[in-house]
Amino acid sequence: MAWQETLRELRDELAEVRTERQWQADTEATELRHARTELSGMASSLGIFEMLSEMNATLLGGKADLEQIVSWDDGEGDVEREDDGLDVVEDDEEDDAVSTILSWEERGEREIVVDVIAAEGGTSVQVNGVDIRPERDALEQALVEAFREELEL
């Protein structure tokens, strides 16, 4: 009879631990979704895609390619199933980022990449790997400088 009692106690303890782990996983998933929504919002509010589109139309005659890559949008979702049936948030080594890329061919392959990155230190905006202030006027200036550098003007 002691064996059965031990198993019941262990079962109850396991149920509590599983409930706590599920709550933690749900909380982490909610926080991650919120952070990613803010990151996408910042990229949108800066008008990155629209600005690069204008550059394409005005400076490149619409001949460039424009694409936006969202690092966490891989078609698999934010959550994976583990063998114990609990949902856990993926813990990737890479930071979340929204990257917008304008690429074209002009005496070689050229591109301007604008990244909005969420890292442990906060959100940063980069144009071709150079950190800039997350403000529209700083972005405008950085895009012009990046274009000039790409074409060696």
Q: HEC string of 32-80? A: HHHHHHHHHHHHHHHCHHHHHHHHHHHHCCCCCEEEEEECCCCCCCCEE
**Whole-angstrom Cα distance, residue 44 to residue 136?**
11
Q: Count up the domains in the chain and report the number.
A: 1
Could you list the residue range(s) of the whole structural domain that residue 111 is in?
2-150
- Which has the closest alpha carbon to 51: 131, 150, 152, 127? 127
Q: From first to last of its 153 residues, what are the pLDDT tens digits of the chain?
A: 699 999 999 999 999 999 999 999 999 999 889 888 888 988 999 999 999 999 999 999 999 999 999 988 865 444 443 444 444 444 455 789 999 999 999 989 999 999 999 877 788 999 999 999 999 999 999 999 999 999 888
Q: Residue 19 has which token pair?
A: 């409930």
